[in-house]
Structure 1
């Protein structure tokens, strides 16, 4: 998994006035949990979080303080201003290479579903999967191959299992499914990948158009 570096400085004061002064100076108050002893309070520039927060991807974080100390961590929680969306506060949790962690990993679908080719629509139930594993084994994203999905079929979390992590969802959890769309004529055949154009049955709209065309012809006569 990719990692980004956030440089900060330890906070000497954690009162409301000190916090307000930090925000006015373009700094974000942060807390690192999981360290030996008390949580570590520090601050970092708001711009340092853009590659961590404003992205669909997930990252581990290397926190580097001016004192020279460094910590590996993951983002645990973030608070935004309700109006301006400015970052108000960030919580991190320290991680260790030999201890498993739980993270939500984004899902990337691969291929074009067979049912979509035949007029269906791919609907997503999940965009991320909660998984648990060692930090070094967790992927940047999880690939879900939807190529074989026909209309009405679903892709379950069991289809993306891996020895590198353990999925924290029930086995019957659906990632995505191919559903029918309005006025859809299902073209799928068990033994054929494609349906010839002259084999496609006419839709109700086509039938109505044919009847109307016949009526127009009679009027002209």
Structure 2
């Protein structure tokens, strides 16, 4: 699975007023949970562009004041009008605990039905899976070559390892 580096600074105040001040300075308040204790930190909004505005799933290598954590993006909150990032939640990865994550669906091949003039509709661009951090795939690959006009492919037809 791809990884991305993000550095940030720990924050002491986690109230609404301090979060507003951070956002005014283009900082994003974040929280890392799933470990022994929650870690509240902040990072510049530009640091998250490669993580959020991509269809790929990433493991995030967080550096908070010199402390290193491996995590996955759990939730992003956006402003309803400006689409500015308001808050980000990360889930800390532990080698022995399975994690739920959304993984993109990658279509392989050209469908026979499309070659005959049909239209291919992808209903789910991402699938939520549960796996150990070492077993997380970059994407779920689906071979669509045998699909004819009127055929469909369902999640239960996937052959996933484990």
* Range into which the TM-score falls when normalised by the shorter chain: over 0.9
Residue number in structure 1 paired with 2:9: 9
Q: Which one scores higher on RCO, CA 8 angstroms, separation ≥ 6?
A: 2
Q: CA deviation at 1:8?
A: 0.4
> What is the distance in 2 between the residues matched to 1:145 and 1:49?
32
Could you say what secondary structure the match of 1:36 adopts? coil
Alpha carbon RMSD of aligned pairs, Å?
Answer: 1.2
> What is the distance in 1 between the residues matched to 2:22 and 2:121?
44
Higher strand share: 2
Pairs within 5 Å for 1:99-178: 99-164=97-162
- Does the Cα contact within 8 Å between 1:74 and 1:94 map onto a contact in 2? yes
Give the gaps of 5 or more residues in structure 2: none
Give the gaps of 5 or more residues in structure 1: 165-221
Q: CA deviation at 1:45?
A: 0.6
Pairs within 5 Å for 1:41-80: 41-66=40-65, 68-80=66-78
- Does the Cα contact within 8 Å between 1:107 and 1:141 map onto a contact in 2? yes
Q: CA deviation at 1:85?
A: 0.9
- Does the Cα contact within 8 Å between 1:144 and 1:159 map onto a contact in 2? no
Q: CA deviation at 1:103?
A: 1.0
> What is the distance in 1 between the residues matched to 2:139 and 2:77?
24
> What is the distance in 2 between the residues matched to 1:122 and 1:82?
31
> What is the distance in 2 between the residues matched to 1:15 and 1:126?
37
Residue number in structure 2 paired with 1:197: none
- Does the Cα contact within 8 Å between 1:116 and 1:122 map onto a contact in 2? yes
Higher helix share: 1
How many aligned residue pairs are there? 162
Residue number in structure 2 paired with 1:82: 80
